[in-house]
Structure 1
Amino acid sequence: MRSKMLSFRRSTVLATALASCLTAGVAQAEVDTIHFLIPGGAGGGWDGTARGTGEALQKSGLVETISYENLSGGGGGKAIAHLIEVAEQSEDTLMVNSTPIVIRSLSKVFPQSFRDLTPVAATIGDFGAFVVKADSEYTSFNQLADAYLENPRSVTVVGGSARGSMDHLVAAQAFKAAGGDPRMVKYLAYDAGGKAMAGLLSGEADVLSTGFSEALALAEAGEVRILAMTGPERSSAAADVPTLKELGYDATFVNWRGFFAAPGLAESKRDEFIAVLEKMYGTEEWAKVRDRNGWAEDFRPGDEFVAFLEQQEQEIGDLMRELGFLR
């Protein structure tokens, strides 16, 4: 009997050791599931940010299951309202958003603000960019600015967001820096970056105002050229693209992007999201996604994110009043 028990114990120890060997080096997921809610359609900056972040989290083994849902409409307001409505069933949901949640709240595009959600973290900064068709008559931003100064209505700008929102605001800021009237921008609004790109290629507009990461993806296809970007210096992701500043226009703009959870989310769950996003920055998978998109890292978690949003509300409100978008 004793011999059998010893044999059983030996077998158990060997089985445990074998299991340890088999699982050694296999990372355990930090979070089981994240569902990304995207307030715009395919091809836009929100879409790229959510899918790029999800790609890095899943390929690095930090999150086991990733899913995505595009819910466009109302300048992002439809997705915000939906997340608030289904808050109790959405503890695994992260909604991507960016500067427009501040702009559109200020301009009353929708009644909610970041205060109606649970801010989790800002994660990246993406600059603005101005894009033309590959065969466009404009070969530099200086030419485009000169045409605007001569006749503002001769230059049609298209963007993947509503009038008075970020794509419009960035264009107005650039033309103001060139000496033009920012209130005269002829702007065509689409509900997503992909649709705005189609509008440019069809000839409905002369220039697309968009995010730099989106512009890089479009330029790779060979159908467009990037005239300028709004960063303080050139990006290694596209070293041939000049900044507005080096072209002689005193204008820079960075669009933060980050994630929000449902209202009433437990602080422990929020901290779990923050921890996994912070850990992501140290992975090779994230480095590939970040460099591919020309993103700048800009991590502001939890309460720091809330304080930043409050500051943004004040600064962007002042800029919008200066450019004539708010009274």
Structure 2
Amino acid sequence: MLTQFISRKRVTVLAAFMASALSVGHAQAKVEEVHFLVPGGAGGGWDSTARGIGEALSKSELVDKVSYENMSGGGGGKAIAYLIKTAEQSQDTLMVNSTPIIIRSLSNVFPQSFRDLTPVAATVGDFGAFVVAKDSPYHSFTELAEAYKKDPRSVSVAGGSARGSMDHLVAALAFKAAGGEPRKLKYLAYDAGGKAMAGLLSGETQVLSTGLSEALSLAEAGEIRILAMTGDARSTAAPDVPTLKELGYDATFVNWRGFFGAPGLSDEQADEFADVLKKMYETKAWETVRDRYGWTEIYKPRKEFMAFLEQQEKEVGGLMRELGFLK
């Protein structure tokens, strides 16, 4: 049974200030309450994004009250449908999502798309990464790409999601850029990123396609090696990991994570949410959270976010058609 929301009134308040003959206070927009809706279980990327950003907003006192709700099901579709259904009662709700909302909408995993919601802002990005076990014979992505071109079936690539999903598409994009045939990718689908990582460490697969932030802790512990990542430039969280571009492969990808309001959310309310998220980047609390997860800041407010979503939908859709997942 779905949790029933208690109607909450979200208001804008001005920070109190003391005026004197020598100075004038500065009014600061502040949101009273944000309820984060997470379309997946605890501990995943969506969950850590919502809770990390909620932590930064709360500790920096930009938001008075922060709450969270996890709602798994339907590849994220259950939470989307619920937010649409309860739009009038969910004016203080921000649902976290990422690239899969585009992929799963194109694949008809659920009937809705980002156009059925109110895009508020993209906030952080996580790049794709290609990971091998510490004792792997592959010491560079170039070696891996050459082996793939000689015999695609000799290279098995695991991911924590189904065929045709993000981990699969990112790997296909990389091997295509390296001159390989993307349709021949031997992709092993696991039911979660943790299970895929366990498959790599046990020798069930040779390579893991995952998020850079998810691989950092094991790389630091010496359990795995990260061969390459998909950013435009190296990440400060992993300065020793080369990008595909610097290796000579014209491929980049960022798994954005951002927030959506209910359909019908007013422009004023959506702007307030977007503004408070922007202000968060200036705080020490945010620096702590960002560095903890190795996130990259990719703030894109409302109209810019919508344009970005439309462009990614076009690019991802083209790759999915090339791979045979869309007609």
State TM-score, norm by structure 1. 0.83
Residue 102 in 1 paired to residue 81 in 2?
Answer: no
Residues 151-230 of structure 1 correspond to what in structure 2 (within 5 A)? 151-230=151-230
- Superposition deviation, residue 325 in structure 1: 3.3
Amino acid at match of 2:141: F
- What's the secondary structure of 1:241's corresponding residue? coil
- Tell me which residue corresponds to 1:311: 311
- What's the secondary structure of 2:237's corresponding residue? helix
CA contact under 8 A between 1:43 and 1:193: conserved in structure 2?
no
- Superposition deviation, residue 323 in structure 1: 4.1
CA 1:209–1:72 in structure 2 vs 1: closer, same or farther (change >3 Å)?
A: farther
RMSD: 2.6
- Tell me which residue corresponds to 1:12: none
- Which of the pair has more CA radius of gyration? 1
- Tell me which residue corresponds to 1:6: none
- What's the secondary structure of 2:64's corresponding residue? strand
Structure 1 unmatched ranges of 5 or more = 1-19
Greater Cα shift, 114-123 or 201-210:
201-210
- Superposition deviation, residue 154 in structure 1: 2.7
Structure 2 unmatched ranges of 5 or more = 1-17, 19-24
CA 1:311–1:250 in structure 2 vs 1: closer, same or farther (change >3 Å)?
A: closer
CA contact under 8 A between 1:160 and 1:196: conserved in structure 2?
yes
Amino acid at match of 1:305: F
- What's the secondary structure of 1:110's corresponding residue? coil
Greater Cα shift, 286-295 or 95-104:
286-295
CA 1:47–1:207 in structure 2 vs 1: closer, same or farther (change >3 Å)?
A: farther
CA contact under 8 A between 1:41 and 1:192: conserved in structure 2?
no
- Tell me which residue corresponds to 1:88: 88
CA contact under 8 A between 1:196 and 1:208: conserved in structure 2?
yes
- Tell me which residue corresponds to 2:21: none
State TM-score, norm by structure 2. 0.83
- Superposition deviation, residue 112 in structure 1: 0.8
- Tell me which residue corresponds to 1:123: 123
In 1, the alpha carbon distance for the partners of 2:190 and 2:40 equals 10
Residues 226-241 of structure 1 correspond to what in structure 2 (within 5 A)? 226-241=226-241
- Tell me which residue corresponds to 2:148: 148
CA 1:244–1:42 in structure 2 vs 1: closer, same or farther (change >3 Å)?
A: farther
Amino acid at match of 2:210: T
- Tell me which residue corresponds to 1:67: 67
In 1, the alpha carbon distance for the partners of 2:35 and 2:119 equals 16
CA 1:245–1:303 in structure 2 vs 1: closer, same or farther (change >3 Å)?
A: closer
- What's the secondary structure of 2:213's corresponding residue? helix
- Tell me which residue corresponds to 1:31: 31
- Superposition deviation, residue 43 in structure 1: 4.2
CA contact under 8 A between 1:31 and 1:64: conserved in structure 2?
yes
- Superposition deviation, residue 312 in structure 1: 2.3
Once the two structures are superposed, what CA deviation does each residue of 1:160-195 show, in whole Å capped at 9, x if it has no partner? Answer: 233212111110011112221111222233443333
- Tell me which residue corresponds to 1:135: 135
- Tell me which residue corresponds to 1:41: 41
- Superposition deviation, residue 86 in structure 1: 3.1
- Superposition deviation, residue 69 in structure 1: 2.9
CA 1:169–1:144 in structure 2 vs 1: closer, same or farther (change >3 Å)?
A: same
In 1, the alpha carbon distance for the partners of 2:69 and 2:218 equals 23
- Tell me which residue corresponds to 1:16: none
Give the number of aligned pairs: 304
CA contact under 8 A between 1:75 and 1:162: conserved in structure 2?
no
Amino acid at match of 2:295: W
CA contact under 8 A between 1:44 and 1:160: conserved in structure 2?
no
In 2, the alpha carbon distance for the partners of 1:323 and 1:200 equals 24
In 2, the alpha carbon distance for the partners of 1:82 and 1:218 equals 36
Query: Which structure dedicates a bigger proportion of its chain to helix?
Result: 1
In 2, the alpha carbon distance for the partners of 1:55 and 1:171 equals 33
